Structures are given as structure tokens and as C-alpha cells.
Chains A and B, each alone.
Chain A
């Protein structure tokens, strides 16, 4: 694609954005969209830390922008992109810009970073000149060609772009040092003429990559630009290059110029203005001297910045009168949809949520557990039992209740390596699986036959007692239905060899709970079942489930409906899963620490009973 030398950006310009600046990228695309560009101005993003894609909006649609790790890869993939908007920090702005300048296809680099060393800036500038390329910046927001292309954040919000009519070209070429004043100048110029054709801020540093005159000469050469406006600054002699060009007749279009910093003579010499280059070292570098020289060389110079707009208007009307510019019809501007996040934040829109969370909230300054600050949870020494109270039940439980939960967790924490959960975990760990996989393998055995009887026991005993069955009727009823009573029976323990864990739980409950009605009922049931068989004792699962119901109904924190819900939803098995995870993790890590090898079950422990050949024949 061949562009005239004086054209840096047009409606077909394609660019790379160096640095993952998602806001600036979206702003560039939104600008493209309201300018009715055929396609987005960004070919690709260069992000040294990640290759891949970036999703962005093109109007209401989403589009994908490719992302490359290096300039070379991006340039090879998109030779038509001739601009790089360089958001690299001041530490890497130099090397990335130099790299981009070495790419044959990249003609223009805009350097946004502030604080680039002067030596580096001069080398970038000289290199660009030698190669016939352009560097805009450093320390600038960039620039834009109205209705065609914008660099990064230039011209700010869409509302501002529309207010200053930047979605279509006018006849004024503008250049300033200050990036912050660019937008203001667009505003002033659009109010006093048919608007901006192109505007560039070269940056406030002492040695900008391209200078005011470079851009003014481009504007002079561009037949679409009818008048030139420039905003200079005290310090440096850049403006004298323009004045020289005016005198030599190299600038023939009307030039509106103003140099800021006229206040400096009345300020102490040591004041450093906001821009690094803004300091007059000689009389010639003062704003007054420059403004006078501009005036003398034939530029249109207002008497103060206040009059800048009036002077622009004066020149524009003169051009209108001479017929050098003509009024034109305004194009239709497509609407940019409001940004969801922004509209939501400003309260303009609402949207139903998909999830509700009542457990914890990490959005604020401090993490909340059921609305309670983590720091108060710790200050009150609520412990694991208290945290479970908050996160599972959303209640601050009385201390004896929290301690009961902790007692349960301690009691169920482990039961040797031979039980299903631990065994599975150990086998998985020996097979070289990671901690989480091995833990899951163990947890998956928890169910109706292993550790999962707590809820069932609670449910059955609660039903029996609430429906007014005597223990005898309950045992009879279960027998009739052919169901083993959940929570009753143990493989090894019996009346003669009681389960110590059950004894501990009962002792705690008797001395701490206001009442233990269901436990008393269950012990009556146990009397009946152990009379039949010694090992049909109240087991640990049953005991936990039943005591939890006693706890909930006597501590005053739970309504009847809440208790029903706890039982219905299976809260209590959670206690077993949580407590036993402690033991499972211990077993898994134990195997790893011991360097255990793959487990293979001994063949002699398996009865191999193959079906006969006959058995497997299909018998029709």
C-alpha cells in the first residue's frame, strides 16, 4: 500500500498496539466504528508476556484481535500495518521503538511513555529520520487523523469525539507539544472552524522524536489541509525552525500560532513547569520572544491564549470567503453502545443475577464470613466450630455447640488405614497420583455403607420419635420394612467391647447439652437391638447424627423448619467428610513421604473363579 509521505494516517491505516492496553484498544476500535471505517485499525496486539487472542467490541459485535509476543512476528503476519502505538514503559520504550523502526513495514511509531532519557530520544529520532520514518513522542498521548485513525487514548471519550466532530475531517492541521492540550485544542478548533483534519501532540520532552515543523510541513504538503494551527511552549528553539520556514516561504498556508509560558519572566527562574522541555535558558527561548517572532514572520498570533479560538475563526472565515474551503453536510454517526460495566456502575442499567451467595463475601476491604468480618471471627476465637457455624448454618453458635462440632471432627478424623476411605487414598497415592486426586479417591467411598449413615440415622430416629413410635414399634417397623436401622451396628465393637468414641460423645452431650431427648430414645432402641445381637450397638455415625439433632433442638438457635432442612439437605455427612479428610490427607502424604511403590493386591488374596467355557457360551 503506498501512501504519500505527508500522510501518516488515513482511513485504511492499520496499526499494532504494543502493550496490553485494553482500554486504549477499545477506544481505538470505537473511534474506527463511529468513523464508519470498513475494518478495525488494529491488526494485532504485541504483548511480550502472552501470545493468543484478545476479544474486543466492534460496535455491538465482538471481534478477535490476534496477539503476538514479538514485533517481528506481528510484522511478518501483517505487513500492511505501518503504525505502532507503543505503550511500553519508559524502561523499554527505547528498545521496542528501535526494533519497530527496523521493521521495513512500520513507518510510524508513537511513543506514549513519559521519562524516556534524552539520549535515547535523540537516537530514536535520528534513526527515524535516517530511515525516512516518523516517531511521535515520547511523553505524549499521540495524535489522530479525524474520521480515519486515532492513536490510543487521543481525544478521550466518544462523547468528546462527537462534540468536537472528530469522526470526520475538517480543514485544520494542528500540532502542539502538550498532549493534555490536544483535546482542548480540538474543542476550540471545532467551535471556530469546520474542525480538525489531523492533530498531533509531539510530547513535552526536550528532544521529541518529531518536532513541530516536521508535522507542519506535512500539513503544508497535504492538499486536504487548508490552514495550520500550532501551540508551542517556552524553552528550546523548535519554534524558530517554523519561523525560518515561514520566512523562506516553505509554509504558504495560513498559520495560527501561540507559544505558552508568557508568565515565566515574572516567576522565579528556578520553577520547572510540568513539561521537561519547558524552561527558557535564553531570552530567545522565552514565550514572548517566540510569539513576537511568529508575528513578525507573518503567522496569525493572538494576544493571549484566550484569543486562540477567535484567531482560528478569523482565518477560517477568510478561507471561506476566498472559497478555499466549502461547507459540507455532516455524515451520519453510528452510535456506540454504552459499556456494560460503566453503565452498571453509574446505575443506568440493571440485570438479574444468576447466583446468590450467603456464605462469604470477598469484594470489600475485608473478607466476610456470613456477614461477619474475618478479623472479628479471629478476635472472638470462634475456632473451626464457630466458622462452620457461620459458613454452613449462618449462625453464631453457642460455645458448647461449636466445641461439639470440633469434638466430632476430632473423633472422625481418622480410623486407621484399613477402612475404605483411607485404603483408597493410600492406593491412589501409591499409584503416584497427586494429593487432590488421592483425596478424592478416598472421599468417593463415603456413602451409605461407609461413614455416610449420620444423616440417615438422624432422619430415621427423628421420624420415629416425632411420629410417637415406641422404641419397640420403631424396631418392629424397620424390621417389617426390611431395613437395617441406620446408626445401629458395628463390625467389631459390641456391648462387651464398647466404642470409646461413642462414650466420649455421650459424656460430652450429657454434661453440656440442655437436653438429650433423642439420645435417650436411641439408647432405648439400642437396648432392644443389643438384646438380639451384641454388636447391634449405637455406632459412632448414629450417635453423631442423633446428638446433633439434640443439640439443634435444645440450643435455641434453630427453628423446627431449620432442623428439618439440615436433615433433609445432608449437612451432617459433611461433618464426616470434612473430619475424615484430615486423616486421608495424612495417609496420602505418609505414603509419599515413605516413598511407597505402586500397590498390587496379592494374587493369593483373590479367589479366581473363572466361568467355564460352557458358561460363557450364548445359550439360545
Chain B
């Protein structure tokens, strides 16, 4: 439910397959090969014979940019050179933009010699979309931002009656006509295939045809229902440097199977402050409060559950968190904040029933880890839900403090941090 980056491989694949629907003389073939940790290189070359015959480019394809600057792009190589590069770089640890991560995926394409580098990008804002075109693309586009032509496309009007020619002619001269056709088609491709951001920097002319050299794209994953066929089985990789832990993946899978929302990000597995907060808005405020009080480094996770999850779902969600938080023993003990605002329609008793089931199962581990639990919640059947928690506190052998809507939502944060943590 947000904008999600896709691999350059997928972005170009979509472009090669679907741009011709809007631009019939688009001749880019989309010779692309994606290499992952398990890829059999000889098999790959058998299905993509051009790998053995053409001059090639190879670069990481993991949602980060400035790959040339980091010396990660190999240009104008043959197949042996590419294999050597892959051999050296697959699995290598690199630091990009301050984030450390492993190189796991690479894109191989034919090397296209070119002189001129052009720039096009499309982004969206509240009122519509913006198209940016520059005759000076590549790494120097930012230095020459004054040469960029910006075109706004109104959300309702669309691009049909737009005339770009006059603007383009000033800076592109002879190529203006074909660039205009390309950009208009690209816009339709962008709008109709569920894109939220797209940048081709640079693209070049190879003979008379346009070839994308470097491409970045984000899709609006809410479009999935409409784009299922065109997107095919396209995957949304995690951002560079982030691979999902087993538990995060488990919650993500759980989330994808329900109408409710279940989110979990582990920030510091050894942290002492764990949260289980209901609601997208409230969860941010709890995290804010923990940081405000100076416990940012102890904050172990960010997550939220909302949209009336059933008992079973809250059971699994809680169990996952309890399991994670009791793995490392800290002499100072730990706190779990089961927080939330006053719900509109989520049944508090029902969700807490699942929480209690998990607490009972993990009882010994919670005792051993010295966990103290703070609860604050309101909403449908909250009296019943809070009562359930209080009763649980008496028989669990783990201290549980329970508060309702009469207590300020984030009050349990200082109570927990200043009480139990010192």
C-alpha cells in the first residue's frame, strides 16, 4: 500500500514489452538478463545467446543509484569479463549512501556505444504528473538542471492535447520530433501501467532508435488488482541493505493473507523496549514518545496491527514478538508496550484474546527474560479486553499494568521506561 521500487531489470522488461503498444516504431528489444545468487550462468547464456556474442554491460540491480560513482558498473565487456566480474562481486559487502549491504542481484545488457545522453523522468504530485526532459542527461543532469524542460500534466486533462514540440525544439533541434513521440508514449505507459515514479537517465539514440541505458522506477502497489496480468509475477525487492528476517517475512505473509493490517520491522533485536501497537497513526506516536524520552537505541521494533484482525492473527503476531524479545537476556529486564488509541471498530476483547493465548504459551520465557508488560487501549469491548489482561497478569507471574481510555495514550511509555528500566 505504498510506492515500491522495482528492479531495473523489471522496469526495462515492462518497457520493452508494453511501450510498443503506445509507440509502434519503438524497437528496443529488451535483451536483459538478471543474475541472482542461485543463477546458473551457462544456462542463462543458453537462453540468452546474445550474452556470448555481444559486448556487454553489467551492474548491480538492487534499488540503489550512483552505481557508476561507486565503481560497480562494468562497461564494454565480453561474456568472460562479465563472469569474472560476477565472480568477484556476487555476495560482496559494499557500503552505499551509508548503508551496508550484500550484492546479490545484477543486470546484464548489451553495451550500447553512444555520444549524446538524454534525460527523462516522470513523477506524480497531488494535482497531476510532472515530466522532466533534458538534452543533457547522465551524471551531469543535476548540474545542468536549468536546461531541464518541465511539463505538468493535469490529473483530469491528461496529455492528449499537450504540445511539447515547441519547447523541445529549442534544445533538441533535429531529434525533437522523435523525443516528443517517445515521451508522450512513455507518459501513457507510466499512467496506464501503475507507475508512481520513472526515470530514464540516460537514454540515447542508437541509429534512429531510442535505447534506455539506465532506468529507475517505482510502482504503486495498490494497482496490483488492475495490473496483475501486465506486471505478471513481478517482485518488489526489499530496499538495499535490508533483507527480511524470518519473523518479518512471517508477519509479511500473514499480512498478505488478511484484510487486516499486520506490520513488523525489527530495529534492534537486542533492544529492551518492544512495542505492539494497534493502528498506523498510534504506532508512530508511540515510537516518537520512546525516542523523545531518549530510548531510541533501546527501541527493538516498529510495527502495528489494525483493521480488526481476528484472534488467530493477533495470537501469531504476539507470539512472534514475544519469541523475539525473549531471545536475548538483558540483566536490566525488558518492557513490552501493548498500546493503542481508542479503536473505532476493532474489537479489543477479541484481539486481546489472541494476545493472552500467546502470553500464556510464552509464560516461562517471559519470566526468564524479566519482561514487564504495559497495556493501554480503548474501543469496542475494551472493558472486557482490559479485564482479560488484568486477570492474565494475576496468573501469569509476569507483571502487567493495564490502563484504559482515561489514561493518556502514551502515558504508559514514561511509566514503563522510567519505572521498569531503572
Contacts and interface: CB of A to CB of B under 8 A. Distances in A.
Interface of A: 23-24, 90-91, 114-119, 122-123, 125-127, 130, 139, 141, 153-157, 160, 163, 176-184, 186-188, 204-207, 211, 231, 233-234, 260-263, 266-276, 278-279, 287, 304-306, 309, 346
Nearest to B227: A117
A274 B241 contact: no
B267 A276 contact: no
A272 B405 contact: no
Contacts of A261: 284, 288
A273 B280 contact: yes
A479 B297 CA distance: 104
A181 B282 contact: yes
Nearest to B409: A184
B344 interface: yes
Contacts of B124: 118-119, 122
B281 A160 contact: no
Interface in B381-421: 384, 405, 408-411, 414
B301 to A, nearest CB: 10
Nearest to A208: B126
A127 B411 CA distance: 43
A305 B279 contact: no
Contacts of A233: 281, 284
A167 B281 CA distance: 25
Given A267-B267, A271-B265, A179 B223 contact: no
B285 interface: yes
Contacts of B341: 180-181, 183-184
A12 B214 CA distance: 58
Given A183-B343, A183-B344, A274-B279, A268 B288 contact: no
12 contacts: A90-B222, A126-B156, A156-B342, A156-B345, A178-B281, A180-B282, A183-B341, A187-B342, A260-B285, A266-B296, A273-B284, A274-B283
B157 to A, nearest CB: 9
A371 B290 CA distance: 54
B302 A122 contact: no
B344 A180 contact: yes
A188 B222 contact: no
Contact of B280 (A122, A157, A231, A278): A278
A125 B126 contact: yes
Contact of A180 (B281, B296, B410): B281
A275 B291 contact: no
Contact of A263 (B194, B220, B291, B379): B291
A157 B379 contact: yes
Q: How large is the interface on B (under 10, 10 to 19, 20 to 34, 35 or more residues)?
A: 35 or more
Nearest to B302: A271
A155 B344 CA distance: 5
Given A156-B345, A270-B241, 12 more contacts: A122-B124, A180-B306, A180-B341, A180-B344, A206-B3, A262-B288, A266-B291, A271-B267, A276-B2, A306-B289, A306-B292, A309-B408
A8 B280 CA distance: 26
Contacts of A160: 342, 378-379, 405
B165 interface: no
A270 B284 contact: no
Interface of B: 1-3, 99, 124, 126-128, 154-156, 191, 194, 196, 220, 222-223, 225-226, 238-239, 241-242, 261, 263, 265, 267, 278-285, 287-292, 296-297, 299, 302, 304, 306-307, 340-345, 378-380, 384, 405, 408-411, 414
Nearest to B343: A156
Contacts of A186: 342
A83 B156 CA distance: 23
A216 B380 CA distance: 29
Contact of B379 (A156, A205, A207): A156
B378 A183 contact: yes
A521 B171 CA distance: 119
B385 to A, nearest CB: 12
B302 A141 contact: no
B379 A188 contact: no
Contact of A260 (B284, B306, B408): B284
A156 B154 CA distance: 38
Contacts of B241: 270
Given A157-B380, A181-B279, A183-B344, A114 B288 contact: no
B267 A268 contact: yes
B304 A304 contact: no
A206 B3 CA distance: 9
A304 B292 contact: yes
A276 B2 CA distance: 5
A356 to B, nearest CB: 30
Given A116-B222, A160-B378, A183-B378, A176 B2 contact: no
B378 A117 contact: no
Contacts of A206: 2-3
A89 to B, nearest CB: 9
A125 B156 CA distance: 10
A231 B284 CA distance: 12
B307 A123 contact: no
Given A118-B124, A184-B282, A268-B267, A126 B155 contact: yes
Contacts of A346: 384
Contact of B220 (A117, A153, A204): A117
Contacts of A267: 267, 287, 302
Given A184-B282, A274-B263, A117 B226 contact: yes
Contacts of B379: 156-157, 160, 183
A262 B297 CA distance: 15
A141 B156 contact: no
A500 to B, nearest CB: 60
B285 A181 contact: yes
Contacts of A116: 222
A418 B392 CA distance: 73
A176 B281 contact: yes
A90 B307 CA distance: 14
A267 B267 CA distance: 7
Q: Which 10 A-B pairs rank lowest in CB-CB distance, beginning with the nearest? A: A274-B280, A178-B281, A180-B279, A184-B341, A181-B281, A270-B239, A263-B291, A276-B2, A183-B342, A266-B296
Contacts of A139: 1
